[in-house]
Amino acid sequence: MNLPGPTDYIDIHTHGSGPVSGVFSLENLMAHEDISPADIQGIAFTSGIHPWYLNENNQYQLVDIVRKNIEHPSVIAVGEAGIDKLRGPSLELQRKVFEQQISIAEEHEIPVVIHSVRAWDELLSEHKKLRPKMPWLIHGFRGKRELALQLISKGMFISFWYEFVIRPESADLIRNLPRERIFLETDGADIRISEVYAKVSSDLGISVDILKSVLFKNFKKYFNL
């Protein structure tokens, strides 16, 4: 498994990817699928429990799968883990399993990729309660600037929802967030990460090469490299 270089595109959160020249993809392994990182060569992984697929019956099995996957050298982060108020089991169960995943990340000293839907108060409460040393990345963000800045103020990183970031109305948010806290993703959609980079570099008034350099530095900070 190779880490990205300063001239690579970084797709910080995706599904169903494979090795592509010039692209570093962080592939999400969802524990309920029970796919081993050993099954796919040449890319890096996160491993986590998506709240949509969590229930009272499978909670212990899924946590065990994450613990097993984390031991593989290609798994470099926990996630996507999170809290979803629109879909999933009880918030009590979601928070319990979320906390277990944060504990795994802290134990292994690796960062976390977060799924949060209408659960920002709960997420911020968990962050205050758990006081994590490892950084959190909010994937698929499409909220307001004030919320983004609140999350960033807690040391979190923001990765934009691909459908949102390619719309013209996302430009104002992108320009008004600290560049050293952002990432880009495809989330497994039928879009090339290069297209996302092109849109964001245009919004920021910088070249794609400069944006690559910025996100490469962010990657090193997020993973403490």
Dump pLDDT digits (tens) for 41-73.
778 999 999 999 999 999 999 999 999 999 999
Tokens standing for residue 76: 């470099």
Cα separation, 186 vs 2, whole angstroms: 20
Question: Sheet of 157-160: strands edge to edge?
Answer: 9-14, 23-30, 44-48, 75-84, 112-117, 136-141, 157-160, 182-183
| Residues pairing with 37 in the sheet | none
CATH T-level fold of 22-222: TIM Barrel (3.20.20)
> Letter for the amino acid at 47?
S
pTM: predicted TM-score of the whole model, two decimal places: 0.94
Supply the Cα-derived Rg of the chain in whole angstroms. Answer: 16
Residue pLDDT, tens place only, 108-162? 999 999 999 999 999 999 999 999 999 999 999 999 999 999 999 999 999 999 9
Number of separate helices (H) and strands (E) present in the chain: 8, 8
Give kind and range of the element (H or E) at residue 219. helix 208-222
How far is residue 5 from each of residues 24, 69, 95, 213, 215, measured CA to CA in Å? 8, 25, 36, 9, 10
Joined tokens for residue 59: 């909670």
Q: Compute the C-alpha angle 99/25/194, nearest 5°.
A: 125
The whole-number average pLDDT for the span 6-34 is 92
> What confidence tens digit (pLDDT) does each residue in 181-218 have?
999 999 999 999 999 999 999 999 999 999 999 999 99
What pLDDT score was predicted for residue 16? 85
Residue 36: predicted pLDDT: 86
200: Cβ–Cβ under 8 A, 6 or more apart, which residues?
160, 165, 174, 184, 211
Report the pLDDT value the prediction gives residue 1, as an integer from 0 to 100. Answer: 58
DSSP string, 73-139: TTEEEEEEEEEESSSSS-HHHHHHHHHHHHHHHHHHT--EEEEEES-HHHHHHHHHHH--SS-EEEE
